Structure 1
């Protein structure tokens, strides 16, 4: 299991690299990072049967949120900023773990180019968020059951 901020740093480094390659790529926002963390956790639960990070995901008005990450970036829209050596080290560490890298890159390739708004709308159409009361934790079981049917995973 990884520190959730290592995963956020992975997202920031990947997004920063994408922005350098394509001027049309928008900078990672806090809202988009939350939705990507949600899908990363879902994929990890489906593929590995365990969480990638320890923090719970809570159903908020605008979709799934990791409260600890929200607190760190409160008041900020874009969260990439300057990429430090530590950020690059976190990225490399996660890339070196084949299973983790596969999950992170797959989710980023599928959802990473959608807007935060589109991802918010998408999570609002999916059962785990819909069936969880606002401000309550979305259960791992609800996430795994739903996304086990959605993600195409080879056994």
Structure 2
């Protein structure tokens, strides 16, 4: 299991590389990061039975939130800018996760499928899915609920 901020740093480094290669790619907004973290956790739970990170995911009005990440980046629209430049530690976090075959497979798959969708589109999609619908507002979205629903969606390469 990884610290959630290592996973966030992986997303930031990947997005930064994408922006350097393609000028039409936009900076990763906090709201999209929350949705990607939700799908990363869902893929990890459904393919390995384990969490990617230990933080609970809470059902807020506009979608799933990891409160520690929200607090750190509160007031920031984007997470890859002059206020939050990519550091050597961010790059080390990225390399560590890339070196873990299972983590890398999950992270790259989720980013490739959902990383270019808008936060709004991801929110609309999540709001149609049972784990979200069955969780009270401001409640923790249960791992079992996530695992049971997404086991038919995310499958292991192994």
Tell me the TM-score normalized by structure 1: 0.97
- Whether the 8 Å CA contact 2:80–2:86 is kept in 1: the answer is yes
For 1:31 and 1:127, how far apart are their aligned partners in 2? 20
Q: Which residue of 2 aligns with 1:133?
A: 136
Aligned-partner Cα distance in 2 for 1:148–1:106? 15
Deviation at 1:152, TM superposition (A): 3.7
> SS where residue 52 of structure 2 aligns?
coil
List runs of 5+ in structure 2 lacking aligned partners: none
Q: Distance in 1 between matches of 2:156 and 2:17?
A: 28
The secondary structure found in structure 2 opposite 1:149 is: coil
Counterpart mapping for 1:50-89 below 5 A? 50-81=50-81, 82-89=85-92
For residues 37-57 of structure 1, the C-alpha deviation after alignment (integer angstroms, 9 at most, x for no partner) is 000000000111000100000
**5+ residue gaps, structure 1:** none
Change (3 A) 1:99 1:122: same
**SS state at 2:72 partner:** helix
Residue 44 (structure 1) aligned with residue 40 (structure 2): no
Provide the aligned C-alpha RMSD in A: 1.0
Q: 1:80 Cα shift? A: 1.4
Whether 1:91 and 2:94 are equivalent positions in the alignment is yes
Aligned length: 155
